[in-house]
Structure 1
C-alpha cells in the first residue's frame, strides 16, 4: 500500500461563493455543476508533486477542508481549525461584501484558542494581528465569467487582504476546467502555493515539527465521514 505524508489546507469564505465547486475542480479536474450545501466541513484530497521536475520532487496528499460558511455555525467551526498548514480565502467577484468578509474569516481561523476552544471574538479587524503569520495564504476570486474586464481590474486592485498578508491571488471560473488547466498561470500559482504549504510543514522547521501521520485514500474517506459527526457535537457547545 502506497502511503503519503499529508498537509491540511482550509478553504473558507462566505456561503455561496463557490468553495465546493473550487475544491472539486482542484481535486478532480472536473466541473461540479450541482454542488450540495456544505454542513460542517467536507474533505477532499489532491496528490501534489512538490518541487515537480526537480531532484527534490516528492508526492504529498493535500487535504482540502471545505468549511461551511453559514453564520449559524460560526460558534462551532473552530473544531476544524486545528493543525492548519495553509489557508485558501475564497470570495465572489460579483459580491463585494464577500471580499470584505475575508478579513473576518482569516481572523476567525488564526485567532482560535491554542487549547482547541472557541475562537476569540473577530468583530474588529486588526491588521497587526497577522504580522509575522507563517501560514501560507492564497486568495481566490470566483465567478470570473460574470465580471466585465473593467470591474475585474478594479476588484483585483482593491484586494487589500492579499497585500496585507503577502498572499498570492488569482480569479477564475470554477465551472470552466480551462481556468486550472495544467501549465496555465492559475495552475502554476496554485502549485506554488501548495509547495509553500509543504515546505513550511516538512522542511522549514524539521527539528521542531514531527512527521504527520501518513494516510491512504481509504483513511481519507473514513475521516471525511466523521466530519459531520464531530460538527453535530460541536454545535452543542
Structure 2
C-alpha cells in the first residue's frame, strides 16, 4: 500500500445484523459480499477515493472504513477504536425501526468518549439534536444508511427519520445488489460527496491542531532553573 497517499478514518456504527460488513464490502470492492460473518471487535476495509474529482483540487485519498462490531458484549471495549475519527456512517436495517432508533445511542457512545475529537456533545433524543450547532461547517460529517430495502415494501418512507432529524444525507439500499451504488446513481453521488466532506473535516482538524502548536503556550521555551 502506498503510504504517501493521505488517509482519513470513518467509523461504521450500528446494531448487530443490520448489514454493516456487507455495506463496507460493497463500498470498498463494488461487489456484494458472498458470505457475510459477524464482526468481533473491528474490521477495516480501505477504498481509494478521488477528492473533488474533475477539478484542479483533485487528489487521491485512502478512505479507511472501520467496521465496529455491534455486539453489546463488547460495548465497554470498542471505544478504543473511536479516535481519531473523521467521519461517521450510521447503519440501520430499514425493516427494523428499533435499529434506526438505536443510532442515537451509537452516536452518543462515540462522542461521549473522553479524548474523541469529533466536536460533538452528548445527545439524549432526536429533538435535542441541534443541527446548526452539531453539524455546522466545522463539525464531523455523518451519513445514514438504511439497508435491506428489498425486504421493506410494507414500510413507507417517513419524513421523521433519524437522518432528517440531524440534517444528514441518507442512502437506502440492498447491499446484495451492486446497482445501488453504481457510478452515476444518486446514492453514489451522495457517498462521494460525503467522502469529500470527511476529507475537508480532516484537513480542518489538522490545521487547527497545527495552529494550536504554534500558540504561545506551546512555542515558549521551557527553561530548567539553574541549581547551585
Counterpart CA distance in 1 for 2:116 and 2:190 is 33
Task: Quote how far apart the aligned CAs of 1:38 are.
Answer: 0.3
Partners of 2:145 and 2:209 in 1: CA distance: 29
User: Following superposition, which runs of at least 4 residues in structure 1 exceed 4 angstroms of deviation?
Assistant: none
2:157 maps to 1:153: yes
State the partner residue of 1:83. 84
Q: Which residue of 1 aligns with 2:25?
A: 24
Which residue matches 2:40? 39
Residues 53/82 of structure 1: CA separation in 2 closer, same or farther (3 Å cut):
same
* Structure 1: runs of 5 or more not aligned: 211-237
TM-score normalised by length of structure 2: 0.81
Task: Give the match for residue 164 of structure 1.
Answer: 165
**Residues 1:197 and 1:35: Cα distance change in structure 2 (over 3 Å):** same
SS in 1 for 2:150: helix
- Count of aligned positions: 201
Which is greater in Rg? 2
Q: What secondary structure sits across from 2:79 in the alignment?
A: helix
> Are residues 1:182 and 2:183 paired?
yes
Aligned-pair Cα RMSD in Å: 2.2
Task: Give the drift of 1:6.
Answer: 0.5
Counting helix residues as a fraction of each chain, which structure ranks higher?
1
The structural deviation recorded for 1:152 is 3.6
Task: Specify which structure has the bigger relative contact order, considering alpha-carbon pairs within 8 angstroms and separated by 6 or more residues.
Answer: 1
The Cα of 1:125 is off from its aligned counterpart by 3.9
